[in-house]
Amino acid sequence: EPQSCQLHVRGVEEDESEGDLREKFERFVGARGVDGVSIRRRADETGANTSWALVTLSSARVAADVLEKFFFGQVLGDGFWGWGR
């Protein structure tokens, strides 16, 4: 059985909700590929938005597919993503 995998997503907009982010990922991996989204709202000492999110995907293979699409410019834009299990 596949092990879930999390992607760290930087650059989450101030008005972006967990549902918004889930919908963006589901466009590329389908509803079954996204197990959860959790946004952490933050600002640095200057007040600049530094919010980020963890997106839990159903498997490392799904995460790798998303990363591949991102690197080829097909997903979300300019945010930086890291990943881990």
pLDDT reading at 78 higher than 90: no
pLDDT reading at 81 higher than 50: no
How does pLDDT run across 38-52, given as a tens digit for each residue? 999 999 999 999 999
Within a 10 A sphere around the Cβ of 66, how many other Cβ atoms? 24
CA pair distance 11, 41, nearest whole angstrom: 10
CA pair distance 78, 76, nearest whole angstrom: 7
Evaluate whether 80 touches 11 at the Cβ level (below 8 Å): yes
CA pair distance 8, 81, nearest whole angstrom: 5
pLDDT reading at 2 higher than 80: no
How does pLDDT run across 19-43, given as a tens digit for each residue? 999 998 998 888 899 999 999 999 9
Q: Minimum mean pLDDT among 40-44, 50-54, 66-70, 81-85: which range?
A: 81-85
How high is the pLDDT of residue 48?
95
pLDDT reading at 10 higher than 80: yes
